[in-house]
Chain A
Amino acid sequence: GALLSQHPSWVICKSGTSVKIECRSLDFQATTMFWYRQFPKQSLMLMATSNEGSKATYEQGVEKDKFLINHASLTLSTLTVTSAHPEDSSFYICSARDKGGEAFFGQGTRLTVV
């Protein structure tokens, strides 16, 4: 299966600061990447679809100015949580589909905003 490397695996930040999460595809070119958020004991919620070289498509209710997504290359997509607040504390996961059509996931990033 495809390999996605997500970094960092966990981060603690102060309220009001910004945090950048990276997602790299290691063995294939990911034209499209997906960013999910998962709160405790809840399912993955799609936040946005990131297309290489173009603007991300955000799901309804997701603030595009707060969650900045950049997909500048076929192997790297980044999610920046700007002016983070405690309610942004969650598990963030990136995903991409390989040529076989199956989706694979990064290791996830647990963000805690204090």
Chain B
Amino acid sequence: QKEVEQNSGPLSVPEGAIASLNCTYSDRGSQSFFWYRQYSGKSPELIMSIYSNGDKEDGRFTAQLNKASQYVSLLIRDSQPSDSATYLCAVWYNFNKFYFGSGTKLNVKP
């Protein structure tokens, strides 16, 4: 079983719409969760981190965490073509390892 799972996509949304990205993880003991954005040929860049159940908002981005169901999601409001990228979910495990999902490719169409 993979530690972190994401739908590979591509997820296509029109400009201005809300993009919803989902991620599930296997270790109930995980405490830290992150969303990264990766443009082709570039290193990932951190978008948001979330540690507690519920929602965390930062600008157009909202991260949602549900530890009971072991999923974390990212909502992007007012999607822009520049948001088109691969979004990686990452989970920090207690034994000092940091695992990534396979990523969801997002296409925002003008």
**A residues with CB within 8 A of B:** 1, 32, 34, 36, 42-44, 46, 49, 91, 93, 95, 97, 101-108, 110
Contacts and interface: CB of A to CB of B under 8 A. Distances in A.
Contacts of B44: 44, 93, 105
The binding surface of chain B is classed by DSSP as: strand
B34 to A, nearest CB: 7
B34 A49 contact: no
B34 A43 contact: no
Interface stretch (B12-20, B58-66, B69-77, B97-105): B97-105
Interface in B77-102: 88, 90, 92, 96-102
Interface residues of B, number: 20
Contacts of A44: 44, 88, 100
A95 B96 CA distance: 13
16 contacts: A46-B98, A91-B41, A93-B43, A93-B44, A101-B49, A102-B34, A102-B46, A103-B34, A103-B90, A103-B92, A103-B98, A104-B46, A105-B43, A105-B45, A106-B43, A107-B43
B100 A102 contact: no
